[in-house]
Structure 1
Amino acid sequence: MAAKDELGRAGESRAVAHLRNSGYRILDRNWRCPQGEIDIVADHHGALVVIEVKTRSSEAFGHPFDAIDERKAARLWRLAMAWIAEHPHEARGRRLRIDAIAVTGSDPATGRLEHLEDAL
């Protein structure tokens, strides 16, 4: 596995731990469909939350949230709709929101974690 992939996987694991500690119930991880992948799907106080995780070893090339541009945001909403279509029982009657988590540092286990609720 490439170092970049290992960093990303470690960042996602850290994000899941943070979410669980914050009262989120994880429904799905790394869900794939033809349009792409959702990092994490969770329940938080009755809301259905799609979470995009960006992990970087530093901010040398910008903040991790900078990678979530308009195109990526639109894609996340389309992916959320695809997830809902495949899991209607989980989505029924829930508010949908998209969160973003940034993990920055050479070691994701100890790096800075930032969580933006309702980011998009």
Structure 2
Amino acid sequence: MNTLGIAGEERAAKFLKAKGYRLLERNFSAPYGEIDIIAQDKKTLVFVEVKTRAYTAFGGPLMAVTPAKQRKIALTAQAYLKAKGLKFDSIRFDVVCVLPEKIEQIENAFIPARTTM
């Protein structure tokens, strides 16, 4: 990961903590991909994709979370739940967009299609 990406993930983690989220894991990897941040928001387990950009000339950070990327995140989330044996009332997929001048969280940024491992 590049320096910009590392700095963006740090900003996102601090942002989520300040909102009261409990960070459970960072950079969880599985054969399907990686999830940047896994956190708990009250009774909801949140899988967070962090997208950092120095500028938006070629599109904003959210545009980088393509359907293919969403599928990889969903499969990795399934692997995490299976590995940890966790049960939550609900799960959610969020994207945190980090730009030099602002940080924005999109809750329920996507609902993954049914996936099977």
TM-score (norm 2): 0.90
Return the offset for 1:37: 0.8
SS at match of 1:48: strand
Superposed CA deviations along residues 29-55 of structure 1, whole A, max 9, x for unmatched, are: 011111111100000011000000000
Q: Which amino acid aligns with 1:103?
A: V
RMSD: 1.1
Structure 1: runs of 5 or more not aligned: 106-110
Q: Which amino acid aligns with 1:92?
A: K
Superposed CA deviations along residues 9-63 of structure 1, whole A, max 9, x for unmatched, are: 0000000000000010000001111111110000001100000000010001110
Identity percentage of aligned residues: 38
TM-score (norm 1): 0.87
Return the offset for 1:83: 0.6
What is the CA–CA distance in structure 2 between the aligned matches of 1:32 and 1:54, rounded to whole Å? 17
What is the CA–CA distance in structure 2 between the aligned matches of 1:113 and 1:19, rounded to whole Å? 10
Runs of 4+ that moved beyond 4 A: none
Aligned pairs, number: 110
